[in-house]
Amino acid sequence: MANLKDEAGTHNVKASQIDMKFEIVVIPVSDVDRAKEFYGRLGWRLDADYDNGSDFRVIQFTPPGSGCSVIFGKNVTAAVPGSAQGLYLIVSDLAAARAELLGRGVAISEVFHDANGVYAGPDEPYLFGRRRVSGPDPEHRSYRSFASFQDPDGSGWLLQEVTTRLPGRIDPAATSFGSARDLASALRRAEAAHGEHEKRLGKRDENWPDWYAQYIAAEQAGTELPT
């Protein structure tokens, strides 16, 4: 038995070193062409539309900056159309992302935040509770501001604003951005913080590029920010 435990432990260590990249979410739909029009209107990239001409069709879309895609189609899943709920899209600027979807003709909720983890109430449940309070999180905390929308079948999506990751959520040695817009948002936050830094210094910081880089990397990794 001891040897079996040792072997299992060794196996688990080796398995944890293998990348497992989340690739696909299957969305059940009732009308494939209607769903294709909707997800294309979101501005997502169409990767595939395969139809065997009889009993199978699969369509794949990828949100901008995402490493994970969605697929739907005919005979792709036995799940009930509209049953996919709590699908999170992470954005660095919630107001801008919401405005873009509105501009594309997508019905989307107002920005809201949670009522301090209230899990009872009339609102649709989501990660941080059930009661939605209008407006962004008053303290503008990362993870705490949302907006929601549905596809034509009622599958539920949420935009969640994340600017600073919790510690340990990403590799602190790797800083990357899914789009130029995300990078621009990070630069704006660094600029605002650097302005306060220069006020404390009482002079212009000649090493501002290094400070910006340290701030952006620390913000993304969820480690202590430079002051």
Model confidence pLDDT, tens digit, residues 97-147: 999 999 999 999 999 999 988 888 888 888 888 999 999 999 999 999 999
Quote the mean pLDDT of the chain: 87
Strands 132-134 and 24-26: unpaired
Q: Which residues of the chain have pLDDT under 50?
A: 1-11, 13
Q: Which string of b and e fits 134-150 if b means at least 16 CB within 10 Å? A: eebbeeeebbbbbbbbb
Q: Does domain 1-82 match CATH 3.40.50.2300? A: no
Q: Cα separation of 138 and 115, whole Å?
A: 11
pLDDT of residue 13: 46
> Structural domain boundaries of the chain?
1-82, 85-163, 180-221
pLDDT of residue 125: 86
pLDDT of residue 207: 83
pLDDT of residue 171: 66
Q: How many residues are recorded in the chain?
A: 227
Contact (CB, 8 A) for 156 and 124: yes
Contact (CB, 8 A) for 50 and 58: yes
Same fold, 1-82 and 85-163: yes
Query: What CATH number matches the domain at 85-163, 3.50.50.60, 3.10.180.10, 3.50.30.30, 2.40.37.10?
Result: 3.10.180.10
Interacting residues of 79 by C-beta distance below 8 A, sequence separation 6+: 26, 28
Nearest Cα neighbor of 106 from 149, 62, 162 is 149
Interacting residues of 152 by C-beta distance below 8 A, sequence separation 6+: 29, 31, 34, 35, 38
Interacting residues of 114 by C-beta distance below 8 A, sequence separation 6+: 126, 128, 129, 131, 132, 133, 144, 146
Contact (CB, 8 A) for 181 and 43: no
Query: Number of C-alpha atoms within 13 angstroms, CB side, residue 49?
Result: 9
Tokens representing 219? 């913000």
34: amino acid identity, one letter? R
